[in-house]
Amino acid sequence: MAKNFLIITEGISTEPTILESIFKKYGFNVVKSEPIKINEEDDPFDLCFSELSEKSDNVIIAQGPRNRIRDFLILANKNEQDIDRYFIKLKRNFAGIFLVYDVDHTLKDDLEEMFNKYNDETSGLLLLSSPCIEILSEPNRVEKIETEHLKTYKRERNEWVNKKSGLSMEDYIIEHFEDSVLYFIRKNCEESGNNNVMEHPSFVLEQINKFNERTFVSNDVLPVIYRYFTTTVYVCVAYIMGLTKQIDNSDEIIKFFESKKALNRRER
């Protein structure tokens, strides 16, 4: 019997485009759902039911009810019972639920509160990218980013990628996905001393709050210094591929991505 997995994304374009391509390449039926609306009865499973496959596992991708963690928390706290019921229903319909969000300018307390709510893959696991998913385009970055608006960094990265390769940011990340996630898996394993990738989301949260500086000035001005660069987006791929059943699972996951990397080279 086919399994169903849900990935809730912050963005409506970049993350869904990357994840759709990767999971299709890995043999899954991928369905893009309408954005999640907590106050409506239908969830992504209901909305996409007719498009689900009975022969292969399904990955449903849906934009979250808010596109920033802070706004998500405000919504969740105002509608706590509604959102709790909504995620309980999701848990019944999906074998794994992941929330793929950027750190952006999110304050330390908000990140911790969000992770306290969503820290388990069966009912919702928060997977962060610091500062954003675009870090997959330069995994070995060490130079700090100091900015009031992350869109400046994103614009510069888009310009660099386009000049270097002629590709869009999404296509560039897709083309180099295995190389990038292998870098971050090894980095997070080494720095955490933990070869269970399911433990990496909590570890990187601690590192993000330890090394990144955020100063609240106003809702429009929030200077940030990013010193810690990472992503845990690979966790949802590894889990959905069934590679996390063992506690010590990083070697198997690395072998998987290495094999996909080698296959990509042969196909080019």
Does residue 163 surpass a pLDDT of 80?
Answer: yes
Cα-Cα end-to-end distance for the chain: 34
> Tens of pLDDT along 8-57?
999 889 999 999 999 999 999 999 998 888 766 677 888 788 899 999 99
* CB contact set of 102 (below 8 Å; sequence gap of 6+): 10, 11, 128, 129, 130, 131, 132, 133, 150
- The position carrying tokens 């596992």 is 57
Mean pLDDT of the chain: 92
- Is the whole-model pTM more than 0.85? yes
**125-to-6, 98, 128, 202, 210 alpha-carbon distances in Å:** 11, 5, 10, 10, 21
Q: What is the mean pLDDT of residues 129-139?
A: 97
Tokens of 68: 């920033």
> Tens of pLDDT along 187-245?
999 999 999 999 999 999 999 999 999 776 566 656 789 999 999 999 999 999 999 99
Q: Which domain holds residue 103?
A: 4-267
The pLDDT assigned to 37 comes to 83
| Range scoring the smallest mean pLDDT among 15-24, 72-81, 137-146 | 72-81
Please say whether the beta carbons of 65 and 72 come within 8 A.
yes
User: How far, in Å, CA of 220 to CA of 212, rounded?
Assistant: 19
Q: Which residues of 121-142 are buried (b: 16+ CB within 10 A; e: fewer)?
A: bebbbbbbbbbbbbbbbebeee
Higher pLDDT, 201 or 146: 201
The domain tally of the chain equals 1
By percentage, how much of the chain surpasses pLDDT 90? Answer: 74
